[in-house]
Amino acid sequence: MKLTFQDLEDLARGAAFLGTGGGDPYCGRLMVEQAMKEGCTVEIIDLDEVPDDALIIPTAMMGAPTVLVEKLPRGDEAILSLRRLEEHLGRQAFATMPIECGGINSTIPLVVGARLGLPVVDADGMGRAFPELQMETFHIYGVPGTPMAITNEYGDTALVTTHDNYMMEWLARGITIRMGGAAYIAEYAMDGRTAKRTAVPRTLTLGLTIGRGIRLARHQHRDPFQSLIELLKTTPYKVGAVIFEGKVVDVLRQTTEGFAKGQAVIESTADHHEQMELTFQNEHLVARVRREVKAIVPDLICVLDAETAEPITTEAIKYGQRVKVMAVSVPEIMRTPEALAVFGPKAFGLDGEFRPIETLV
Amino acid sequence: MKLTFQDLEDLARGAAFLGTGGGDPYCGRLMVEQAMKEGCTVEIIDLDEVPDDALIIPTAMMGAPTVLVEKLPRGDEAILSLRRLEEHLGRQAFATMPIECGGINSTIPLVVGARLGLPVVDADGMGRAFPELQMETFHIYGVPGTPMAITNEYGDTALVTTHDNYMMEWLARGITIRMGGAAYIAEYAMDGRTAKRTAVPRTLTLGLTIGRGIRLARHQHRDPFQSLIELLKTTPYKVGAVIFEGKVVDVLRQTTEGFAKGQAVIESTADHHEQMELTFQNEHLVARVRREVKAIVPDLICVLDAETAEPITTEAIKYGQRVKVMAVSVPEIMRTPEALAVFGPKAFGLDGEFRPIETLV
């Protein structure tokens, strides 16, 4: 499948939805558009089309989305990381792939694919967005994340090899911070066979479908929220529900430890004594009303413009925005004990067990 | 020249002197001793013995000496860094070399040389010890520090390539911090021709000579300070002078930003109203009495036990120690405008110009 300009716009919107707050795809979208305008094409392929022994090198941005707003990429950082890793491995990549289908990292591999003429595999390692590198199905199912390469806008690179994927995150995060809080990586190099076993399939087309659904609903004057809920029923992310509606009345946001961390408070439209508090680390982690959990990782917590259902990211959320908060169930594979150990509430230092959104609404 | 156990002891003492406070060679000395007891030999060679096209890979510890006191190396970290860099360069090292002849980094290349059967070049890139990687004659005379490798006790490595040597220091420091504050590096890989042009020659034998001089003076019941001053006259470090004598009455020391930073206050033996304040970043940077500079980088500021002239490092200096402070002139090549720009007072954020110790005593 070749991506059109309309697809790209839809995909970016859907990816912002699946990003559950983390990292606006806008900047990445512009880079892909520029490449397409210059004649490059973006070819999306299914996992089934990847030969078992072909090398896939996923690419991504790493760091705080708050930084990306001010420190724009030069454009070839992720490409340099991929090339650096190819050089180290002594093999050329057959394709690139997202590590996360949500947020900006849905678009970075498209830039790499367009510029290098590599297909982009329609799959990812998160099925949404998460803030840390070990929070990937690749990791959960035993793929070593390193050797990994990390590059900044000066072309400075580090090729990191670690004894486990937590140490990869720890070192790469430290390097990202010293690179100014945003850097570009190539990691979890794997063969087609491994990708088929460990990746979440068809998440680029999922993002595209969601983004298109929102657009069409607007265009046809249907309620985009109701349309989204109907649409989600046809995907592995079955259950979607609007869990709060109101106005953003407070945001505490810090760029710290290589992340955008903070809280946002939304005052209910129906009852101004009622408030929802969202806690985020790049992505939204938990939504609480009167300290009671209304949705929690790994289920999606999506803050959307109350009128248009346009996703609002954690670096862009601000006082006065009228929003609806949607929670969405993730596929069962992301709720296993093994998965929850890696990206469930405890992995983020949150109290309490994971509670599926179906039991909370 | 093959190093004997007595040589090693003398070299470690002399290196602690040239270390001007930074990093006790004790731990490295034990590692060399262990290797020698197991039958390894340490071969020191002159720069002249290195073929012009032979590859030299210097090795070192990086980080805060305060950390090294508690986090001992496994022993093969610097070896792994050298191997990692060899692998990247696709060439084997002919020899290793110190990047600094002072402190623990006089001994780390001896461990590497002993274990790998590589000769150790009798030269270094500082002519003393400095806390940062760009503070080297190699850098001043145009040698790229990267690609460089950095390794911790788990065998985790990063291979770093940067557009300049300041960025190398910045990224490698960040990695070192994330590796727990102490790590082991291989950097400034160069050929024999380049080493002959840019290294400070015969600084391992200088350390050995100084350490031996202190030992012999003690043994022969001569004043070790006077002996040192006489001995220095025969070296490129011509002028040595005791600039203060007293008791350590205060130490403020923090392990911060990957360094041991702080101040030590010494109360004069002759007049308890008179105090010298030493400011350090791993190494002593400036010695002041009533805010007046008495010695300043790059000249050596050495705190020595008042009786035995045993060097006291900045991580070990503590209340109650009776000490003499010696200042020593460095060779003219380390006082050029180019050199001072890299490791003179301003490079450390200190006010005022460099003032040679000869003009201050």
Q: B201 CB contacts (<8 Å, ≥6 apart)? A: B46, B47, B122, B123
Chain A partners of B88 at a C-beta cutoff of 8 Å? 159
Q: Does B133 touch chain A (CB under 8 A)?
A: no
Per-residue pLDDT, B352: 85
Residue B279 has what pLDDT?
A: 97
| % residues pLDDT > 70 (chain A) | 100
CA B282 to CA B303: how far, in whole Å?
Answer: 13
pLDDT exceeds cutoff 90 at A255: yes
**Shortest alpha-carbon distance between residue B149 and chain A (Å):** 9
Q: Does A180 touch chain B if contact means CB atoms closer than 8 Å?
A: no
Residue A2: is its pLDDT beyond 90? yes
Task: Judge: B163–A155 Cβ closer than 8 Å, yes or no.
Answer: yes
| A95-136 confidence digits (pLDDT tens) | 999 999 999 999 999 999 999 999 999 999 999 999 999 999
- Give the residue on B whose Cα is nearest the Cα of A150: B160
Q: Does B166 touch chain A (CB under 8 A)?
A: no
Cβ atoms A190, A56 nearer than 8 A: yes
Q: Do A158 and B157 touch (CB under 8 A)?
A: no
SS3 per-residue string spanning chain A: CECCHHHHHHHHHHHHHHCCCCCCCHHHHHHHHHHHHCCCCCEEECHHHCCCCCEECCEEEEECHHHHCCCCCCCCHHHHHHHHHHHHHCCCCCEECECCCCHHHHCHHHHHHHHHCCCEECEECCCCCCCCCCCCHHHHCCCCCCCEEEECCCCCEEEEECCCHHHHHHHHHHHHHHCCCEEEEECCCEEHHHHHHHCEECHHHHHHHHHHHHHHHHHCCCCHHHHHHHHHHCCCCCCEEEEEEEEEEEEEEEEECCEEEEEEEEEECCCCCCEEEEEEECEEEEEEECCEEEEECCCEEEEEECCCCCECCCCCCCCCCEEEEEEECCCHHHCCHHHHHHHCHHHHCCCCCCCCHHHHC
Q: Residue A23 — very low, low, confident or very high, per pLDDT cuts 50/70/90?
A: confident
Residues B74-85 have a mean pLDDT of 97
Decide the pairing of beta strands A275-281 and A283-289: antiparallel
pLDDT of res. B333? 86
- CB contact A80 to B (< 8 Å): no
Domain A5-201 has CATH 3.40.50.720: no
Beta strands in B25-147 (DSSP E): 44-45, 55-56, 59-63, 120-121, 123-124
| Candidates B84, B159, B170, partner chain A, best to mutate (most A CBs within 10 A) | B159
Chain A hits for B177, CB-CB cut-off 8 Å, are 174
Does A173 contact B178 at a Cβ distance shorter than 8 Å?
Answer: yes
Question: How large is the average pLDDT for residues A142-170?
Answer: 98
Tell me the C-alpha distance between A90 and A147, whole Å: 12
> Which fold, A224-360?
CV3147-like (2.40.390)
**Total number of residues shown for chain B:** 361
pLDDT value of position A325: 98
A-chain residue closest to B165, CA distance: A156
Q: And the tokens for B16?
A: 């602690």
Residue from the list B88, B156, B174 with its beta carbon closest to the beta carbon of A175: B174
Task: Please report, as a single letter, which amino acid is at residue B328.
Answer: V
pLDDT digits (tens, 9 = 90+) for B108-164: 999 999 999 999 999 999 999 999 999 999 999 999 999 999 999 999 999 999 999
Question: Above 90 in pLDDT, residue A277?
Answer: yes
The whole-angstrom distance between B65's CA and the closest CA on chain A is 21
Q: What confidence score (pLDDT) does residue B122 get?
A: 98
* Residue of chain B minimizing CA distance to A148: B158
H or E segment and range at residue B287: strand B283-289
pLDDT number for residue A132: 97
Q: Token pair 């995907």 is at which residue?
A: A235
- Rounded mean pLDDT of chain B? 96
For range B273-279, the mean pLDDT:
97
Average pLDDT over residues A57-84: 96
| B-chain residues near A177 (CB < 8 A) | 174
Q: What is the DSSP letter of B152?
A: -
User: What are the pLDDT digits (tens) for B18-58?
Assistant: 999 998 999 999 999 999 999 999 999 999 999 999 999 99
Residues above pLDDT 70, as percent of chain B:
100
A177 touches chain B (CB under 8 A): yes
Residue B89: list chain A partners with CB under 8 A.
none
Residue B163 near chain A (CB below 8 Å): yes
CB-CB under 8 Å, A177 with B154: no
Residue B235 contacts by C-beta under 8 Å, 6 or more apart in sequence? Answer: B206, B209
Which of A146, A165, A178 would you mutate first to test chain B, the one with the most B CBs within 10 A?
A: A178
Please tell me which of the candidates B156, B157, B170 has its beta carbon nearest to residue A178: B170
Please tell me the pTM assigned to this model.
0.94
Cα A212 from Cα A116, distance rounded (Å): 27
- For chain A, give the mean pLDDT: 96
Query: What is the pLDDT confidence band of residue A88, given thresholds at 50, 70 and 90?
Result: very high
Considering only CB atoms, B163 lies closest to which of A88, A156, A177, namely: A156
* Domain residue spans of chain B: 5-201, 225-360
pLDDT 10s digits, A166-217? 999 999 999 999 999 999 999 999 999 999 999 999 999 999 999 999 999 9
Which ipTM score applies to this complex?
0.92
A175/B161 CB distance under 8 A? no
In this predicted structure, the answer to whether residue B361 has a pLDDT above a threshold of 90 is no
Query: Quick check: B174 and A170 CB within 8 A?
Result: no
Helix, strand or coil for residue B359? helix
What is the reported pLDDT for A333? 86
Give yes or no for B80 touching A (CB within 8 A).
no
- CATH of region B225-360, choose from 3.40.50.11540, 3.90.1330.10, 2.40.390.10, 3.40.50.300: 2.40.390.10
Tokens linked to A12? 């970016």
How do residues B177-221 score in pLDDT, each as one tens digit?
999 999 999 999 999 999 999 999 999 999 999 999 999 999 999
Both tokens of residue B152? 């911790």
Q: Which amino acid is at A129?
A: A
With a CB-CB cutoff of 8 Å, which residues 16-45 of chain A face chain B? none
B175 vs A173: CB contact, 8 Å cut-off?
A: no
Q: Is the pLDDT of residue A43 over 90?
A: yes
User: Cα(B44)–Cα(A205) distance, rounded to whole angstroms?
Assistant: 64
* CA-to-CA separations, B136 to B148, B263, B284, in angstroms, rounded: 15, 24, 17
Report the relative pairing of strands A148-151 and A157-161 from DSSP bridges: antiparallel
Q: Do A156 and B161 touch (CB under 8 A)?
A: yes
Residue A188's pLDDT is: 98
The bridge status of strand A120-121 relative to strand A44-45 is: parallel
